[in-house]
Amino acid sequence: MHTSLLDRLRSRGYRLTAQRRAVAEALDGMNVHLTADEVHARAVDILPEVSRATVYSTLHELTSMGEILELGIEGRSKRYDPTTSPHNHLVCDSCGVIHDVQLGHTPPELPVGEAHGMTVRRAEVVYHATCETCSAN
């Protein structure tokens, strides 16, 4: 079941100013992978006076809280994903469209000795592909 970012923030008691609410609403939905500029553009549609600096600081705060993921997919601008449950991503190498991939199981554990003393918090697989639209061109 999908719980919206706004609902998750409310349940945590997060102080939702009008600006923070606009950022959370901009990130609402399934399969959302927006750049900071795209979040800002959506937030401005909701609340015209929201500043770029507020969007950036809110994205940083939400990432630090673990309420959104910051995706650093090679060769692309950072993207923000409100789906924090374990999932992977399918990326078109031509146009950059990103889709969530729900696998229904957790990623395999690292073999003994391969963690090099680190504690794994999460794992992600990125599938690189070419979408139908780009394949047709």
How many domains is the chain partitioned into structurally? 2
**How much of the chain, in percent, has pLDDT values that exceed 90?**
65
* 11 and 69 fall within a common domain: yes
What are the C-alpha distances in Å from 66 to residues 7, 13, 37, 51, 92?
14, 15, 20, 23, 26
At 57-82, the pLDDT tens digits run 999 999 999 999 999 888 788 999 99
* 61 and 101 fall within a common domain: no
* 72 and 10 fall within a common domain: yes
Return the residue matching tokens 């991939």: 101
* 115 and 70 fall within a common domain: no
Q: Which residue has the higher pLDDT, 116 or 80?
A: 80
Rounded mean pLDDT of 41-64?
A: 97
pTM for this one? 0.84
Closest CA to 36 of 9, 54, 14, 17: 54
Closest CA to 36 of 58, 16, 14: 58
| Pairing assessment for the beta strands 88-92 and 98-101 based on DSSP bridges | antiparallel
Closest CA to 37 of 47, 51, 49: 51
| Pairing assessment for the beta strands 79-81 and 98-101 based on DSSP bridges | unpaired
* 75 and 93 fall within a common domain: no
* 53 and 19 fall within a common domain: yes
From the CB of residue 40, how many other CB atoms can be counted at a distance below 10 Å?
22
**All residues at 6 or more sequence positions from 63 whose CB lies less than 8 Å from its CB, including other chains:** 69, 70, 80
CATH (domain of 100): 3.30.1490
* 22 and 74 fall within a common domain: yes
- Flag the least confident range among 3-17, 64-78, 81-95, 111-125: 111-125
Rounded mean pLDDT of 21-44?
A: 94
CATH (domain of 18): 1.10.10.10
| Domain range enclosing 114 | 88-136
Distance CA 115, CA 112 (A): 7
Q: Mean pLDDT across the chain, nearest whole number? A: 90
Q: What is the DSSP letter of 40?
A: H
